[in-house]
Homo-oligomer: A and B are copies of this chain.
Amino acid sequence: MSEKLDRLNEILGEVSDLKHAQSVLDWDQNVSMPPGGSEARGQQLATLGKIAHEKSTTDEVGKLLEDLKKEFTNSDSDEAALIRVAGREYDKATRVPAKFIARQAIVTSKAFEAWVEAKGKSDFSIFQPHLEKVVELVHEYISFFPPAEHPYDTLLDDYEPGMNTADVQEIFSSLRPKQVELIKAIKSARQVKDDFLHKKYNEKKIWEFGEAIITKFGYEWSRGRQDKAPHPFQTTFSVDDTRITNRYEVDNPLATLFSAMHEAGHAMYEQGSNRAYERTPLAGGTSLAVHESQSRMWENLVGRSLPFCEHFFPELKKTFPSQLDGVSAKSFYKAINKVESSLIRVNADEATYNLHVMLRLELEIGMVEGKFAVKDLPEIWNAKMNDYLGIVPPNDAQGVLQDVHWSSGLMGYFSTYALGNLISAQVWEKVNEDIKDLDEQIRKGKFDSLLGWLRGKIHIYGRKYDPQDLVQKVTGSKIDSAAYVRYLTNKYSAIYGL
């Protein structure tokens, strides 16, 4: 073993501990913290961020990385991957001053609280001054980096290393007309009945049903938990403590089930990361899009499939006999896949979902280019919703205030959701080549071969391979929309008899 590598791991181990401590404080802020705690919590997160930043950007770390790059030249080794990923993070982090990170933590902590209040009161004006500060910080952040082809590239690269704005725009512009065409065809077809989805369902029973499903999927509770939060999310404190949050919406009670499957998909990716990578930058998921491919696979390709409905619907009907009286697995399947222009991204069906993402991407690019002012966002949002989906949100809570991301300073993030959908379909075609009777297994509620496949081909590698390389390795091609278009077309042709 290399002494220099040991020393690097010692330092990066402490940085990892500090970041996981931040995650615990952040989880607590979302799940448990009383409102009074906000100001001090912002300060605490700022201090942890500042110290993690200081520790990971010392000259010693830079020198170690430089020396180790020469020492470990087998590019497929874990050591070389570690040095590459750590090196990339070092390069980024040394460009961003510690004081900026501290300021950002304080601003976003307050912005988060303002967002919660603004969403509760459906009043964008409460959030606006905070979002303006966030956007100022985003501009300042971009300024620390050498000019890219597009200023938005700098943001995107943080979430999808190796992707740039033009790549994403190209993938999206090939995908958009096909989705629009499909939606048009569906709109003119006979509509499916889904009134039974919007009856009153008991919150506790729905919550527990969701937990039973993800237990079958293979989410390990001895290494996780599910809590209530304003927005569903997944967070990792270690490979043995990866948690999910969820919520219950009165007007969309079954969304709780699909959010559980979605977040469990993220969590199982983290639970499957190589233990040898713990407390190193190789632990966890390689990118947001690959992460999203796992969550969307469990939520949609498994959770919203006909075989899975055939498996779990009888039990659901037993749990909610009056709500589901006269409903069959097949008609339930059609209902949960009903295509309809709707307001909330996380509840959108698969055929319309990506349009929500494209809207956000355009708003973000507009803000970054300085073309869109924050104060005009509600209006722009509503106009674009009207253009793309033919509907206008009745209030800001169901419009521009619906997502938590911007309050946390996350810009450059949304397109990874759509990319994740594409990857999920690419991987799914491959899984089905290898597991011939997968549908039959799902119909029986057996998920061990599927999870085993994902663990062995994707999860175990953590962040060793960059997203495009991992997708190439697993599926034989880079990120591409063809498989997703095939998937959508087959699925909705059958449902709507197109």
Contacts and interface: CB of A to CB of B under 8 A. Distances in A.
A9 interface: no
Contact of A51 (B51, B237, B278): B51
* Of A20, A43, A239, A241, most B-chain CB atoms within 10 Å: A241
Interface in A19-52: 20-21, 24-25, 28, 32-41, 43-44, 46-48, 50-51
Given A24-B25, A28-B28, A225-B32, A17 B37 contact: no
B36 A21 contact: no
Contacts of A240: 34, 36-40
Interface size class of A (residues with CB under 8 A): 35 or more
A28 B24 contact: yes
A90 to B, nearest CB: 19
Given A25-B24, A222-B36, A41 B279 contact: no
A223 interface: yes
A224 interface: yes
A267 to B, nearest CB: 11
A278 B237 contact: no
Interface of A: 13-14, 17-18, 20-21, 24-25, 28, 32-41, 43-44, 46-48, 50-51, 220-225, 227, 237-241, 243, 278-279
Total identical chains: 2
A180 B28 CA distance: 47
A244 to B, nearest CB: 11
Given A21-B24, A24-B44, A37-B223, 10 more contacts: A13-B47, A14-B50, A17-B43, A21-B47, A32-B225, A33-B241, A34-B225, A36-B223, A36-B241, A43-B279
Contacts of A20: 40, 44
A279 B42 CA distance: 13
A35 B224 CA distance: 9
Contacts of A41: 237-238, 241
A339 B403 CA distance: 58
Contacts of A237: 37, 40-41, 44
A172 to B, nearest CB: 39
A20 B39 CA distance: 13
A277 B237 CA distance: 31
26 contacts: A13-B43, A14-B47, A14-B50, A17-B43, A17-B47, A18-B47, A18-B48, A20-B44, A21-B44, A24-B44, A28-B28, A33-B241, A34-B222, A34-B224, A34-B240, A34-B243, A35-B222, A36-B222, A37-B238, A37-B240, A37-B241, A40-B240, A40-B241, A40-B279, A41-B238, A51-B51
Given A14-B51, A24-B25, A28-B28, A40 B278 contact: yes
A221 B37 CA distance: 11
Contacts of A14: 47, 50-51
Given A40-B237, A238-B40, A241-B40, A25 B33 contact: no
A188 B35 CA distance: 53
Q: With a 10 A CB-CB cut-off, give which of A220, A223, A237 has the most chain B CB atoms.
A: A237
Nearest to A19: B44
A175 to B, nearest CB: 39
A228 to B, nearest CB: 12
Contacts of A222: 34-36
A41 B237 CA distance: 8
A25 B237 CA distance: 10
B21 A25 contact: yes
Contacts of A220: 36
Given A32-B225, A279-B43, A21 B48 contact: yes
A17 B37 CA distance: 13
A21 B442 CA distance: 43
B279 A221 contact: no
Given A25-B24, A240-B39, A221 B44 contact: no
A38 to B, nearest CB: 8
A24 B21 CA distance: 9
Nearest to A32: B225
B48 A17 contact: yes
A116 to B, nearest CB: 14
